[in-house]
Amino acid sequence: PIGDADRGAALFQRQCSACHQIGPEAINRVGPRLTGLFGRRAGSVEGFDYSKSMARMGSDGLVWTMQTLDAYIENPKVLVSATRMRFRGLQDEQARSDLIAFLREWSDR
Ligand code: HEM
């Protein structure tokens, strides 16, 4: 489905902003800053202490794209088995597309 970035912004507020910031001023909190995600290697934000599992997926070549983000948001532990992200996952496919459209607005690629 085609994502709606405005709906995605509202979802981000409700589901992600307790742990993540996004935008030019974003800093690492409970989770890493999510600015510039697309095309970036997983586990590579400077100064954030990732789980071993996420760090390893990054060295093994996991890069954040539409597909990999969709899988991680749907069920974090299926993609990154021992991820430290305490988020149950979003089952609704449209909601994931909306969120990804919003995340993409803060990426150059
Ligand atoms: C990691 C997205 C909700 C805590 C990540 C990463 C993404 C992401 C893409 C990997 C970033 C990277 O590789 O640099 C999201 C989205 C959320 C969400 C879209 C909402 C739908 C949350 C919540 C929490 C959280 C609610 C806290 C309860 C974390 C932590 C990590 C992380 C601790 C690092 C994981 C690790 O090192 O294994 N998140 N997240 N996230 N997130 Fe979230």
The response to whether residue 76 sits with its C-beta less than 6 Å from ligand 1 reads no
Q: Which atom of ligand 1 is nearest to the CA of 11?
A: 21
Tens of pLDDT along the chain (109 residues)?
899 999 999 999 999 999 999 999 999 999 999 999 999 999 999 999 999 999 999 999 999 999 999 999 999 999 999 999 999 999 999 999 999 999 999 998 7
pLDDT at 109: 72
Q: Which atom of ligand 1 is nearest to the CA of 69?
A: 9
pLDDT at 102: 98
Q: Which CATH superfamily is domain 5-105 in?
A: Cytochrome c-like domain (1.10.760.10)
Q: What is the 3-state secondary structure (H, E, C) of the chain?
A: CCCCHHHHHHHHHHHCCCCCCCCCCCCCCCCCCCCCCCCCECCCCCCCCCCHHHHHHHHCCCECCHHHHHHHHHCHHHHCCCCCCCCCCCCCHHHHHHHHHHHHHCCCC
- Report pTM: 0.97
